[in-house]
Structure 1
Amino acid sequence: MKKPTAAYTFGFERFEVLAVFATTVLIQLGALFILKESIERFVEQPEVHTGRLLVGTFVALFFNLLTLLSVENKPFTCVSEAASTNCLQEHVADLSRSVCGLVPGLSSVLLPRMNPFLLLNMAASLSLCITYTLIEMDNYNSVDTASAVAIALMTFGTMYPMSVCSGKALLQTTPSHLIGQLDKLLREVSTLDGVLEVRNEHFWTVGFGSLAGSIHVRVGREAGEQMVLAHVTSRLQSLVAPLTVQIFKDDWIRPSPVPGALPAAPPGAPGPRPPPPVDVLTSTPAKPGPPPEFSFHTPGRSGQPLLLPGAQAYGPHSLGLESHGSPYSAALSQGWARPHLGRPPAPGYRTAYSPAPQRYGAHTPPRHFSYRS
């Protein structure tokens, strides 16, 4: 009855579910204890004195029926309707159909299925009456133990479906008897104007008779969000009381970005990296190549030529300077020269006729060129 708080946003109805679950589990444990005691009693059956057993049976039945019919117990009523039928209810339902065929007026009481608590009280009272009769007439003491076993089994069979139903509610599962109605409502919601998709739906039991849920609805770009929200809420509100509906626009059709445009960076964040240069011939981003001659600076084809100061193979023609190559004997002693295919070497650079330095950076004085004015 207390209002929802920040810690319990759905209220305190789940305390009733927890109380029903704990009660039904304790009753089943009591039934198992009676079965254990009855098995031990079968080994050595004592003498039974009935006393006022018949009077106590009718007094207990009267007060139980008065409590069940006069006091409204919402948690147990809801769980008895939501739980599956037990074996006792199924057998009585078959008998009730035969009786209602003879007396149609009893169909409202006996069909479709009787209250499990009322049925358990009636069956236990009938068992005690049979026990009292057999002990008083034939002194059949073992019937008392057999009656205890029968009552324990009926109690366990009646409470087990209720424990399962309340346990599923504690696990926040969808009630099985409401799945058909929920599917029908979801189909109606999916056919509304502007609704493209219904997904991520989840419905669970908060308390007995209270169903909560959340759903995501994807709508078109031209659909009104408030209008769709009102229609979806009106369809599901009759069955799902605390309902959360998330409406979002369709994101499948978006304008393509402008080629070459960069997204805006948030304030304080580094700007986006520029796109790599595009090769004009292949229209693909150019990949950065490796540095020349790997990563160390050694002379090679990609390195800069070595300058030899003071060695000038050719001078300006206006000054009348001439140069002569080395003799053939000197050229043969140094090895075959590499021709330049008719192109003279550039002035001031090391040529194939000059010896290579022994170490990078060392300067070797020219020995194979002579100058005269």
Structure 2
Amino acid sequence: MLPSYADQNGKVHGPPKSRIKSKLFGYLRLIISDTKTRNLFFFLLLNTSFAFVELVYGIWTNSLGLISDSFHMFFDCTALVAGLIASLIAKWRPNERYTYGYVRAEVMSGFLNGLFLVFIAFFIFSEAIERTFEPPEIHHERLFVVSVLGFFVNLIGIFVFQHGGDHGHSHGGSSHGHSHDHHGHSHDHHGHSHGGDSSSKIFEGIFLHILADTMGSVGVIISSLLIRFFGWHIADPICSMIIAFLITLSVIPLLRDSGGILMQRQPKQLDKKLPDVYRRIQQIPGVVSVQSPHFWSLSSDKYCGGIKIEVSFNCDPRYVQQTVRSMLLQIGIQEVYIQVDFPSGVSL
């Protein structure tokens, strides 16, 4: 047994293997303690096991449809792993370097996984075109059983992530606000800690992947029946093209939304709400103009931003700040920086 040792600060550490084992068990306990991550973990084990079964049977039966579906399942497994890791990282607390915390881990994992899926879809599609001109001999009697089993595995995933992976938000945490008045302008920075679920993008993406997998399994079942009863071996590469198309189709929303967040796009959920808020702000007594509005998604369920309000000299800046903050919180912006300025050339 390896001895423990103390570092330069006097903190006692156990053997390296013991510390790694302790961390792994700690992460496992954290995964099991939450319903969503627990469901994700067990479905990952089921999906990975069956992906190996599909791959072996696909090689045995010489079915590109089954092989391509197994690769899709493997990439779904990477989505599940990335989602699991991102769910854990997103719970890490903010620090002096990552002042917003690590909630964008879910966006990064979704975007990167989407790119990988587009790549594999292109690979499957190009291989299917080649096989269209030279359809291979396929053992359909072995293909059908595995395809049906794959379909039921995906049905389990759909049930788990549609009924057990709802995107409820709990508004916990604390809120604070402060304002200070200087010569010519006043600021208000309101931070609202949002204790809700920051993993909605993860589970939305996983559900889309599994749904595409299910449709792909249906395609493989249909192709195996066509080969068995009609001898249409060309049905296998056509099925592969459909699977590739479904993969791409399922990934587009994930890439669009996660890419928009990474590019600091204004939250699309607020596209119709913000213009109305600007109009209401300008109707506040004493407000001259609304300037420099900037709003973005920190993660898929948390919005931040800043706005500058120019007011007349006889206006109460604190009243304007509180009113504007209330309007923005009503449409879901949890953290906002409000700057209230007097017209240029006017001083207190």
Q: TM bucket by the smaller chain?
A: 0.5 to 0.7
Aligned pairs, how many?
A: 221
In the alignment, does 2:164 pair up with 1:74? no
2:104 maps to what in 1?
Answer: 14
In the alignment, does 2:317 pair up with 1:191? no
TM-score by length of 1: 0.55
Q: How does 1:59-138 map to 2 (within 5 A)?
A: 59-71=149-161, 72=165, 74-77=200-203, 116-117=208-209, 119-138=211-230
2:143 maps to what in 1?
Answer: 53
1:34 maps to what in 2?
Answer: 124
Q: 2:334 aligns with which of 241, 244, 259?
A: 241
Kindly state the Cα deviation for residue 126 of structure 1 after the two structures are TM-superposed: 2.5
What CA distance in whole angstroms lies between the structure 1 residues aligned with 2:98 and 2:271? 26
2:245 maps to what in 1?
Answer: 153
What CA distance in whole angstroms lies between the structure 1 residues aligned with 2:110 and 2:259? 9
What CA distance in whole angstroms lies between the structure 2 residues aligned with 1:208 and 1:16? 8
What CA distance in whole angstroms lies between the structure 1 residues aligned with 2:308 and 2:336? 11
Q: Is the 8 A contact 1:214 1:243 kept in 2?
A: yes
What CA distance in whole angstroms lies between the structure 1 residues aligned with 2:113 and 2:216? 19
What CA distance in whole angstroms lies between the structure 1 residues aligned with 2:151 and 2:202? 19
3-state secondary structure, aligned to 1:237: helix
Instruction: Kindly provide the amino acid, as one letter, of the partner of residue 2 in structure 1.
Output: W
Unaligned runs of 5+ in 2: 1-90, 166-198
- Runs of 4 or more, structure 1, over 4 Å off, are 77-80, 115-119, 252-255
3-state secondary structure, aligned to 2:271: helix
Change (3 A) 1:224 1:78: farther
Unaligned runs of 5+ in 1: 81-114, 256-373
1:176 maps to what in 2?
Answer: 268
Q: Is the 8 A contact 1:131 1:144 kept in 2?
A: yes
Kindly state the Cα deviation for residue 23 of structure 1 after the two structures are TM-superposed: 0.7
Instruction: Kindly provide the amino acid, as one letter, of the partner of residue 158 in structure 2.
Output: L
Q: How does 1:252-291 map to 2 (within 5 A)?
A: 252-253=345-346
What CA distance in whole angstroms lies between the structure 2 residues aligned with 1:139 and 1:78? 39
Q: Which has the higher helix share?
A: 2
3-state secondary structure, aligned to 1:241: strand
2:302 maps to what in 1?
Answer: 210
Q: Which has the higher strand share?
A: 2
Kindly state the Cα deviation for residue 2 of structure 1 after the two structures are TM-superposed: 1.8
Kindly state the Cα deviation for residue 119 of structure 1 after the two structures are TM-superposed: 4.6
What CA distance in whole angstroms lies between the structure 2 residues aligned with 1:116 and 1:180? 26
What CA distance in whole angstroms lies between the structure 2 residues aligned with 1:2 and 1:119? 30
Kindly state the Cα deviation for residue 74 of structure 1 after the two structures are TM-superposed: 1.7
What CA distance in whole angstroms lies between the structure 1 residues aligned with 2:204 and 2:95? 25
The more displaced of 232-241 and 61-70 is 61-70
What CA distance in whole angstroms lies between the structure 1 residues aligned with 2:131 and 2:205? 35
1:222 maps to what in 2?
Answer: 314
Kindly state the Cα deviation for residue 61 of structure 1 after the two structures are TM-superposed: 2.6
RMSD: 2.3
Kindly state the Cα deviation for residue 176 of structure 1 after the two structures are TM-superposed: 2.9
Instruction: Kindly provide the amino acid, as one letter, of the partner of residue 212 in structure 1.
Output: C
Tell me the alpha carbon deviations over residues 120-171 of structure 1, each in whole angstroms, 9 at most, x when there is no partner: 2443233122101111112211111111011111211221232122111111
Instruction: Kindly provide the amino acid, as one letter, of the partner of residue 179 in structure 1.
Output: D
Kindly state the Cα deviation for residue 79 of structure 1 after the two structures are TM-superposed: 6.3
Tell me the alpha carbon deviations over residues 47-93 of structure 1, each in whole angstroms, 9 at most, x when there is no partner: 0112443332333233323223324262245569xxxxxxxxxxxxx
Instruction: Kindly provide the amino acid, as one letter, of the partner of residue 25 in structure 1.
Output: L
3-state secondary structure, aligned to 2:333: coil
- What is the aligned-residue identity percentage? 25
1:352 maps to what in 2?
Answer: none
1:276 maps to what in 2?
Answer: none
Q: Is the 8 A contact 2:148 2:221 kept in 1?
A: no
Tell me the alpha carbon deviations over residues 293-316 of structure 1, each in whole angstroms, 9 at most, x when there is no partner: xxxxxxxxxxxxxxxxxxxxxxxx
Tell me the alpha carbon deviations over residues 16-36 of structure 1, each in whole angstroms, 9 at most, x when there is no partner: 101000111101100111112
Higher relative contact order (CA 8 A, sep 6+): 2
